[in-house]
Amino acid sequence: MHSSNLPAAAGQLTIEHFRNGLATELSDLSRCIRCESPSSNKEAVLASARLIAEIGTARLGTAPDEIVVDGRTHLRWRFGQGRRRVILLCHHDTVWPIGSLAAHPYSVESGVLRGPGSYDMKTGLIGAIHALAALRGCYGTLDGITLLVTGDEEIGSPTSRPLIEAEAAGCDAALVMEAAGPDGALKTARKGISIYSIDITGHAAHAGTEPERGVNASVELARQILAVSQLGDPALGTTVTPTVASSGTTGNTVPATARLAIDARALTTAEQERVDRAVAALTPALPGSTLNVGGGINRPPLEESSGIGLFRRAERIASVRGLTPLDHVGVGGASDGNFTAGIGVPTLDGLGAVGGGAHADDEHALVEKIPERTALIAWLVADVLGLA
């Protein structure tokens, strides 16, 4: 089926092309998953980057730039300048420690692919490479496309964020290869994340003989937990959650210090900024105690307004091409797509694996969905770039 609303050359690519390439895609994916790459292990991330560079060079015809920041390795393929530009965002680090393959080996059984990082997000990464390889075969060029593969997403992208924002600036679209939502839904919204810590200082005293001479940091901690827990707004999807709390040194001493960690998430920039102001304005409740509030906004929201237009493109493509009908969803977790949306680039997320079990023993991807996702990525890139 072909539509005049889609690029003519992209019409030469059929779903059968991607199904016929599945064995090769799975071979590359097998190598990628078997190369363990926990974010905390810089040497492992380097080895993974070198392998992905080898796979990508073979499929795309050119080697990437290897970018090392603070010992963490990222890869960038940047093709030409292009009148229009699109960036594909991937990461190759995982949460799985070295040795996880022993208990969770790579396998494909009954149409289910398993292994560390299979769902989050090595299937999406390899899918992006094969989608671009198909476009290269169709057009002979990938002008206007950047493929960025980072190595620290799972720990908050501390070294890759400036790179992501610089590469995405001015792009017409950012396509994120994170795993899909439930039933393969694309992700048009993600909550922004703020991370705070509150250090509380009181005054120590003997708990048995003169507790009245102390300033109990544990009591102040309890009051701050109650105050913080009131800052959320369930109706707007805003959550402000006290998480890790600690105080005291010995069982017979009025605690002199305490510490509280806070996780705050919001669907809109306005809500994220409201919470940020409220946390910064917290004051001690107990006379003689002091607060030191640290942290702040970590990732801006990916608001639905940023992704819905691209979703409509993808939805139309799926309909024209006979793919599984698409749905979209907003989720609480963040990705590097939050950064691109935060600088004003239209961003669509969840274009990677259909499956489940991210970060868990049941992590898996559905093999039959891989060709469809690879095809969707290719056709969406062509559509955004207006290729003909």
Which pLDDT value is given to residue 3? Answer: 39
Instruction: Classify residue 27 by its DSSP letter.
Output: H
- Choosing from 243, 275, 299, the residue where a domain stops is 299
Report how many domains make up the chain.
2
Using left for φ > 0, alpha for ψ between -120 and 50, and beta otherwise, residue 290 falls in beta
Instruction: Classify residue 375 by its DSSP letter.
Output: H
Residues 162 and 56 in one domain: yes
Cα 10 to Cα 7: distance, rounded to the nearest angstrom: 5
Q: Give Rg (Cα) of the chain.
A: 24
3-state secondary structure 266-328: ECCHHHHHHHHHHHHCCCCCCCCCEEEEEEEEEECCECHHHHHHHHHHHHHHHHHHCCCCCCE
Token pair for 296: 């702040």
Using left for φ > 0, alpha for ψ between -120 and 50, and beta otherwise, residue 7 falls in beta
Residues 313 and 231 in one domain: no
Residues 78 and 180 in one domain: yes
Residues 216 and 116 in one domain: no
**pTM for this model (two decimals):** 0.90
Residues 284 and 306 in one domain: no
Residue range(s) defining the domain that contains residue 280: 192-299
Which pLDDT value is given to residue 387? Answer: 87
Residue 3 lies in a domain: no
Residues 252 and 151 in one domain: no
- Choosing from 252, 278, 299, the residue where a domain stops is 299
Residue 113 lies in a domain: yes
Residue 82 lies in a domain: yes
From 153, 271, 276, 303, active-site residue: 153
From 25, 93, 152, 383, active-site residue: 93
Residue 4 lies in a domain: no
First to last CA, the chain: 17
Is 199 designated active site?
A: no
Residue 216 sits in a domain of what CATH number? 3.30.70.360
Is 304 designated active site?
A: no
Residues 47 and 65 in one domain: yes
Residues 23 and 144 in one domain: yes
- Choosing from 240, 267, 299, the residue where a domain stops is 299
Residues 287 and 141 in one domain: no
Angle CA 194–196–198, to nearest 5: 165
Series of mean pLDDT values for 10-residue runs along the chain (388 residues): 45 89 98 98 98 98 97 97 94 97 97 97 98 95 97 96 98 98 97 97 97 97 98 97 97 98 96 98 98 96 96 97 96 95 97 96 97 98 90
What is the strand order of the sheet 239-247 is part of?
239-247, 257-266, 192-201, 290-299
Token pair for 12: 């030469």
